[in-house]
Homo-oligomer: A and B are copies of this chain.
């Protein structure tokens, strides 16, 4: 496995594989790698001849009062994890490499970025689409792998790929959960033992909604009210949103019909946690 820090070296490093027509898979991450990331790497490893993992804590997708500074950066453990998953290339650029002085270009997807997390994190998705567009142009992968944990991100990136005609395929990989149901997240390490226990109310509420819908409930307002109540009664927390939207258009639903995304974002202790499930109405 090679570790590469510059765009120039990454391009020349991948050139022989590209010339040989080998398929290239990209797993873009912000590091602090966990089982969720590992599952992306494994799927990429199965589907592609060259696997590139990028590790870059992207400043432009953090708001001014968010956790950019304290976001975990365990470089050695991350490299060991990538080696363990038989990754070929780890791309770990500096901020200056990705955002040189004087850069002024932004890629923005409208509409899909207005609701859900977009409402609470203004500018977040512009930062995501901009850095992902850069990574796509740097790595030029055949496939790029994203986790369903960031459900809105996946929909937004798929839209960007379609709209800007990026010549690659987006592969969405399932959420990986702890045995007790908590969705894997680099931000789980912010949680105290008490927070960690309370955080189970998120996946619990989603599981309850899934079961209640399977049992015939179709009324979105009733589902959301009960989920909010379950989460709020778990202890001190701040709910950004609990919403049920069309899984493709992200337009809010009033009734469960078609593929629906049930998504939520909740602050527990020092962590802002997100989770979701997709249900068929």
Contact = CB atoms under 8 A, between A and B. Distances in A.
Contact of A21 (B19, B130, B160, B162): B19
A103 interface: yes
A118 to B, nearest CB: 12
A235 interface: no
Interface in A99-139: 100, 103-112, 129-130, 133-134, 137-138
Interface in A158-206: 159-160, 162-167
A54 interface: no
A7 B165 CA distance: 9
A106 B108 contact: yes
Contacts of A134: 163-165
Contacts of A137: 164-167
A11 interface: yes
Interface residues of A, number: 30
Nearest to A166: B137
The quantity of this chain's copies bound in the complex is 2
A140 interface: yes
Contacts of A162: 100, 103
Contacts of A103: 159, 162-163
Nearest to A129: B105
Contacts of A167: 11, 137-138, 140
A159 B104 contact: yes
A204 to B, nearest CB: 35
B105 A164 contact: yes
Contacts of A112: 104
A124 to B, nearest CB: 16
A137 to B, nearest CB: 4
Interface of A: 7, 11, 19, 21, 100, 103-112, 129-130, 133-134, 137-138, 140, 159-160, 162-167
Given A105-B110, A105-B129, A105-B159, 11 more contacts: A7-B165, A100-B162, A103-B159, A106-B108, A107-B108, A130-B164, A133-B164, A134-B165, A137-B167, A138-B165, A140-B167
19 contacts: A7-B165, A103-B159, A104-B110, A104-B112, A104-B159, A104-B163, A105-B109, A105-B110, A105-B129, A105-B164, A106-B107, A106-B108, A107-B108, A107-B164, A108-B108, A133-B164, A134-B164, A137-B164, A137-B166
